[in-house]
Amino acid sequence: GTTIAVVPRVAVVVFLLRGKAVLLGRRRSSVGDSTFALPGGHLEFGESFEECAVRELKEETGLDIDKKRMELLTVTNNVFSEQPKPSHYVTVFMRGVLADGDDQLPQNLEPTKCYGWDWYDWANLPEPLFWPLEKMVKSGFNPFPKSPLE
Ligand code: 8DG
Ligand code: MG
Ligand code: MG
């Protein structure tokens, strides 16, 4: 089988904003199966957070983010100790908007890892949320800028 080093790993995930909505997908995974999560994945060796966000979003949804308007929002520490294979992620949360307006449609390009992507109003998020996201929402975190997006 696969040997996994027991060390903390870095994940980069994206709040892709469209109007008052964010893009979420229902996970197909041993970690957080069936919960709604942001697009994102593991930081690769030598990558910037922005490069990782662009790459993961493209791989998972086919969507292109506006590279000039991406911002780092926050970082959280997530220990998944209850899993059959315990894992530990330092998760970097980025914010972004689609390149070239809001016309692009998300595609489910990794159907073995996700049941599908959709836009959800921040005021009416689906349940259950993936635990690290749930924790942030409950703490009052809001990914939207104080002045509305153009
Ligand atoms: P990769 O092979 O494409 O690099 O990885 P992936 O298959 O896309 O990994 P992932 O599970 O989507 O993301 C890696 C870890 O990031 C995940 O196991 C836990 C952490 N993580 C959070 N919050 C979120 C989130 O909202 N969405 C995603 N996708 N991952 C998250 O802590
Ligand atoms: Mg991925
Ligand atoms: Mg992923």
For residue 41, the model assigns a pLDDT of 98
Among 13, 34, 134, say which to mutate for ligand 1: greatest number of ligand atoms within 8 Å of CB. Answer: 13
Nearest alpha carbon to residue 87 among 97, 77, 76, 79: 79
List pLDDT tens digits, range 17-60: 999 999 999 999 999 999 999 999 999 999 999 999 999 999 99
Report pTM: 0.95
CB neighbour burial string for 44-56, b if at least 16 within 10 angstroms, e if fewer: eeebebbebbbbb
List pLDDT tens digits, range 57-112: 999 999 999 999 999 999 999 999 887 788 999 999 999 999 988 889 999 999 99
As for ligand 1, residues whose beta carbon falls within 6 Å of it are 11, 13, 29, 31, 37-38, 40-42, 56, 78, 89, 91, 113, 130, 132-133
Please give the single-letter amino acid code of residue 104: Q
Tokens encoding 108:
């489910």
For residue 149, the model assigns a pLDDT of 57
